[in-house]
Structure 1
Amino acid sequence: MDDLEATSWFVTYPQFMLSRRLASNNRRDISRNHNVASIDMTDLYLLPPAPGDEPRGTQSIGRAVTLLRAIASRGRRGIRIDELVGMSGLPKTTCVRVLGRLCREGLVARDGHTNKFYLGRLLYELGLLAQPRYRLGEACEPVLRRLAEHTRDTVYLSERSGFEAVCIACCVGDYPIKAVPLDVGVRRPLGVGVGGVAILAALDPREASQVVGGIGRRYTGFDGLTAARVLRHVRESVSIGYATGPSPGAPGALSVGVPFPPVLASASITVTALSNRMGAARQRRLAALVKAEIDGIAADWNAAIGI
């Protein structure tokens, strides 16, 4: 059992991050000694199996999870079957068959009027029992609230989950016209949206390239995005110290995202506002403001674990 597995179920966040740091060091040592890829080994289980590598009998499970992830990427907006076919790469007949079973089990719900699919009630009920080991959203709640009050805009906290970024918290400012393109709980491939780009920018360049390559064709389901465009965006973000760009699903909105130091958390904080409020000078000020808050979180965590 490695350091992560040995962590107590009720571990505090700073304690968890210390064990994560130790485990990360162990993985780097293994990578150095055996010349293996630098990608985080705890995320390998999320890579799609190579053709012929998937054990017999598990294909249906993999297809079901692929469809659930695609549905989750659309949040409360729902998604139609043709979009699911394009995002999953599965034949339409397979999608229809798997979705039918997921609907019968309550894992997926279909709106008969719009023919859109949504995550089902059973997933919500099961999620009530899914106790996380730590709650990054709770730890950052005062910071998100402070940023929203100061900027009057919408502030998001996104965390890496394998090859995806998940919105785990959101705080809306009091500016009269809102830009709220992302629901809490929505997950999208890393690189789709500024929060995910910021997370990639904080990674080792080799790992970032491997992650983007692993996502591959999933990008095309997001307005024709490509891996090459994502990597170019990541490099630009590294050069200026933060990520900036349009917000997918919110025309006229623009975001600025700053990553956490990866040794503490693979996450980012993003401020989103109408583009006419996001000139270059304000983008720089927002990035500096968010970075100062993240530095404060890092200092608190380091103090809590005696570093």
Structure 2
Amino acid sequence: MSTPSETPGAQNMRRALQVLRVLGHHHEGGMSVSEVVAATSLERSTAHRLLTCLVEERFADRDAATRRYRLGLEAMRLGFASLSRSPLLARYEGVVQRLARMSEDTVYLLLRQGDHTVCVRREDGAFPIKIFSTRVGDTRVLGVGVGGMALLAAAPDEDIARIRAQHAQAFDAAGLTASRFEKVVARTRKMGYAEMTDTVTQGVAGVGAVIPDPGGAPFAAISIASIKPRMTPSRRAELGAMLLEALREPAA
């Protein structure tokens, strides 16, 4: 019986998976073609051909300005599919449900994947008007949305500056111009949670906070969203405090 390394006709697939693997290991900073060649020992022409194919299929993304490659959205979606049984979901499912019950609003659990967030859990509260701007599996640029903004504000300044520059169009479309963006990041850091209105969807407001990670930089967040008339400044402050208190308690 043949072992996986002896599977005939799988050489090109193995090479492509090898490229994806090294891109995953260097996703934050990205990789040049030369760096991919050095990490994989592939011929430059082979590495370039595989990277081009991965970009065409959206499993990799090439930055037009820096010419560096990172994982693409399709790779992120595959990673999300594996999260349906992740320990994080099991650990914080009760927290999400409790927050939805207490707030009566819509609560989301989000993960950071490179420069994006992906929604991995959604729980609707009892309030009759539901928020459908974010569904499980949706991805958006880190910082567009309160959960993503909480994660972005927790990142180093240089990381924030790079993401703002590389995704300026997405931030501007969400109303987060350069000046407003800086103010929101500063306010988020000061309060310990993010609060925004009319970014992802007009007429919707929310609060979001990171899930503390003693082992390193936060990579997950929980947010609460509702219609703007319901999300008055005093209510946002109340929900922000509720969220921080819930996240300080060890998840069951």
Answering whether residue 248 of structure 2 is matched by residue 266 of structure 1, we say no
Contact 1:216 1:227 (8 Å CA) reproduced? no
Which structure 2 residues correspond to residues 147-162 of structure 1 after superposition, within 5 A? 147-162=99-114
Contact 1:247 1:255 (8 Å CA) reproduced? no
Contact 1:259 1:268 (8 Å CA) reproduced? yes
Return the letter of the residue paired with 2:90. Answer: E
Which structure 2 residues correspond to residues 265-304 of structure 1 after superposition, within 5 A? 265-297=218-250
CA distance in 2 between counterparts of 1:295 and 1:275 reads: 27
Aligned twin of 2:26:
44
CA distance in 1 between counterparts of 2:207 and 2:198 reads: 10
Any idea what SS the aligned residue of 1:59 has? Answer: helix
TM-score scaled by length of structure 1: 0.57
Gaps of 5+ in 1: 1-40, 70-87, 90-118, 301-307
CA distance in 1 between counterparts of 2:172 and 2:25 reads: 22
CA distance in 2 between counterparts of 1:217 and 1:48 reads: 18
Across the aligned residues of Structure 1 and Structure 2, the Cα RMSD in angstroms comes to 3.5
Any idea what SS the aligned residue of 2:132 has? Answer: coil
1:61 maps to which of 54, 58, 61: 54
Deviations 1:229-259 (A, max 9, x none): 4344212211222111125443211011111
Contact 1:197 1:230 (8 Å CA) reproduced? no
Change (3 A) 1:233 1:52: farther
Deviations 1:208-233 (A, max 9, x none): 334434x3345268447556643442
Change (3 A) 1:257 1:275: same
Count, aligned residues: 206
CA displacement at 1:64 relative to structure 2:
2.4
Identity over aligned pairs, percent = 28
Aligned twin of 2:131:
179
Return the letter of the residue paired with 2:48. Answer: R
CA distance in 1 between counterparts of 2:193 and 2:200 reads: 21
Contact 1:160 1:266 (8 Å CA) reproduced? yes
Contact 2:33 2:48 (8 Å CA) reproduced? no
TM-score scaled by length of structure 2: 0.68
Contact 1:157 1:169 (8 Å CA) reproduced? yes
Change (3 A) 1:127 1:237: closer
CA distance in 2 between counterparts of 1:127 and 1:220 reads: 25
Any idea what SS the aligned residue of 2:53 has? Answer: helix
Return the letter of the residue paired with 2:54. Answer: I
